[in-house]
Amino acid sequence: MPDLHKALGDITSIRRQMAQSTEFRGYGPATLAATGLIAFCAAGIQALWIAVPAHHFASYLTVWIATAIVSAALIGMQMHARTRRIHSGLADEMIRMAVEQFLPSAVAGGLITAVIFAYAPAILWALPGLWQIIFSLGVFSSCRFLPRAMIAAGVWYLFTGLFCLSLADARAFSPWAMGIPYGVGQLLVAGILYFYRREETDEGFE
C-alpha cells in the first residue's frame, strides 16, 4: 500500500508539472469580450441610475459587484467546458492552476473593500483604483501560462488604477472610471488571445 500511495503521488506530481508547463487555453476570447461589453453596460446603468455615487455608495457597490459576479460566472462556466474539451486529462490541474492565479487577488480585493467601507469611508474614492491595481496583479500572475503579450493587459489595468488614484476625490466614482478600464481591458485580453491563437492555427498548430 505505501508503494501504491507513492506511485499515485508521483503521478499527481507529474500531471501538475505538465500542467505548469502547458499554455492554458481555457479562456475563450468571445466570452472575455462579452465581459468587456458587460462593463460598458454597467457604466451606462450607473450613469443613468446613480447620479451621485459618493452619496449612494451602496448602490454603486451593488452595480459593480454584480458586474464582477456575472462576468466571473460567465468566464468560469465557459472555462470549465473549454478546458475539459481542450486539455482533456489535464483539465482538473489546469483549472486549479488558473483559479490559484486569480484567487489571491479576488480575496484581497474583497477584504480591502469590506475594510474601507466599514472603517475608512473617507477614502472610498480610492476603491476603483485599488480594484484595478489588484486586478492587474492577477493578470500579471497569470501571464506565465498565457501568451506573453498578456503583459500589456496587466500594464493597462495597473496604469488605469494609478490614474484613478491620482484623481484623489469623488471623480474616481465616474462610471467611465470603471467602464473604460474594464471594458477596454477585457476587449484587449480577448484580442490578444484571439490573434495569438489565430497565429498558431496559421502555423499549423491546433
DSSP string, 42-83: HHHHHHHH-S-GGG-HHHHHHHHHHHHHHHHHHHHHHHHHHH
In a domain, 181, yes or no: yes
Position 3 scores a pLDDT of 47
Position 113 scores a pLDDT of 96
- Phi and psi at residue 203, in whole multiples of 5°? -85, 0
Q: 1 in a domain, yes or no?
A: no
Q: How far apart are CA 101 and CA 9, in angstroms?
A: 23
14: pLDDT strictly greater than 80: no
CA distances from 146 to 26, 116, 190 (A): 10, 33, 12
The answer to whether residue 164 is domain-embedded is yes
Assess if residue 18 is contained within a domain.
no
What local confidence, expressed as pLDDT, does residue 24 receive? 75
**Structural domain count of the chain:** 1
Question: What is the predicted pLDDT for the residue at 25?
Answer: 79
Residue listed under C-alpha cell 497569470: 142
- Residue (of 138, 143, 156, 141) closest to 68 by Cα position: 138
Q: Is residue 146 part of a domain?
A: yes
Burial class of residue 161 in the structure, from the number of CB atoms within 10 Å of its CB (0-12 exposed, 13-18 middle, 19+ buried): buried
SS3 assignment, position 126: helix
Q: Residue 34 domain-assigned?
A: no
Could you tell me if residue 155 is inside a domain? Answer: yes
Cell of 174: 465616474
6-15, 21-30, 32-41: segment of lowest average pLDDT: 6-15
- The boundaries of the domain holding residue 77 are 48-202
pTM: 0.85
Q: 149 lies in a domain?
A: yes
